[in-house]
Amino acid sequence: MDLKRYDDAELTYAEAGATRTGELPEGYRHLRRSYPMGDGASLGRAADALLTWRMHAALGLSPRATAPRAAPGVVVASRLGIGPLAIVAPCRVVWTVEEDRRAGFAYGTLPGHPESGEESFLLEVAGDGSMSFTVSSFTRPGRWYTRVAWPLVSLAQRFFVGRYASALRRHTR
């Protein structure tokens, strides 16, 4: 997968960074799910798995990125499936955060992605020491086949979000 083809590609939506504020734009399907990470979860280990694409790889998505760690401007393309039936989902990281009690990033879709929009992944440690993982997104169909199968695509996205949380839980222990 040649990521250089995305060097100058523009995002396929106008509202870049909206997941950072939490005010998701109209005209998209919104998704926001939070998951407790469990007792003894380590922000450092979870953040490392999240920011180095291991969470995505744990789901079999075969991510390829222009950098080993998420940072604004990094392009990552995840591939699901094999051969000519594989779906490639190119994205660009639009924001990151790495603080004492929070870590995460958001990426936005590039041309060729099945959807159009943005998705963020955020780990947060509360005052009582508990950690949660929140995924927020706003999406709409980006290709003809996602328009046709939109209800199924929406179900698949919710399924993947839950799997992301499970993968991070495994990495935090």
Task: Report d(CA 168, CA 28) in Å as an integer.
Answer: 27
Pick 23 or 39 by higher pLDDT: 23
Confidence of residue 157 (pLDDT cuts 50, 70, 90): confident
Highest mean pLDDT among 7-16, 78-87, 139-148: 7-16
Partners of 76 in the β-ladder: 65, 91
Terminal-residue alpha carbon distance, the chain:
32
Return the SS3 of 6.
Answer: helix
Question: What is the tens place of the pLDDT at every residue in 92-128?
Answer: 999 999 999 999 999 999 999 999 999 999 999 999 9
What's the pLDDT score for residue 33?
96
Of 130, 116, 122, 126, nearest in space to 161 by CA: 122
The residue behind tokens 């990495």 is: 171
* Pair 101, 86: CB distance under 8 Å: no
* Residue pair 142/12 in contact by the 8 Å Cβ criterion: yes
Q: What is the mean pLDDT of residues 48-62?
A: 91
22 dihedral zone (left: phi>0; alpha: psi -120 to 50; beta):
left
Asked if 61 and 80 touch (Cβ cutoff 8 Å), the reply is yes
Cβ pair 130, 111 in contact under 8 A? no
Give DSSP secondary structure letters for 24-56: PPTTSEEEEEEEE--TT--HHHHHHHHHTTHHH
Instruction: Report the distance separating Cα 139 and Cα 118, nearest Å.
Output: 7
pLDDT tens track for 123-155? 999 999 999 999 999 999 999 989 899 888 888
Residue 71 pLDDT exceeds 90: yes
- This prediction's pTM: 0.94
Q: Look at residue 126 in the predicted model and tell me its pLDDT.
A: 93
